Amino acid sequence: MGCSGYQGEIAAAVLDAAAVWPVPASLIRAVILRESAFNPGALSPAGAIGLMQVLPSNARRLGMTPQGLWNPASNILAGTRMLAVLLQHYQGDVISALVAYNARARRPFAPLPENLETPGYVRGVLRSWSAFQRCEAQARAARAQSDLGVGDRTDS
């Protein structure tokens, strides 16, 4: 996975959602990658919609209509809100929040459920989250070097 796996509207919506809800942009990107592979038109067999695969039954609880979930920015905002609520509920336990986002609620810090999908889902999101964190660190370092003029040499 490269560092530039998404662009434009999706990238902006991720940053906007991370500014509204206390969820790192890198975690939002990781969930989007695992849920929909950055496909805004994704529709699961269970009826989950869009980039973050939000169920229509959750739309009203998240302050929108099910049809609004097809809008990428709205979908990201809704999914990020769900993640923020789960992270708060599970007192920062990211694994428990991801299990609940993917499957169902559980006791905080309980072991991963032994089913076919959830352990792979959680491990995949965590791997992608780590990769996106590295990408963000590289981008910050490159910006800092650029701001300092490091690497800009003009020989006279």
The residues that are catalytic are: 35
Residue whose structure tokens are 């739309």 = 59
Residue 144 CA: distances (Å) to CA of 11, 62, 140, 148, 149: 21, 37, 6, 6, 9
| 149: enclosing H helix or E strand | none
Please tell me the distance from the alpha carbon of residue 87 to that of residue 58, in angstroms, as a whole number.
Answer: 17
Please tell me the distance from the alpha carbon of residue 152 to that of residue 52, in angstroms, as a whole number.
Answer: 41
**How far apart are the two ends of the chain, measured CA to CA in Å?**
41
Residue 10 CB partners (closer than 8 Å, separation 6+): 32, 38, 40, 51, 72, 76
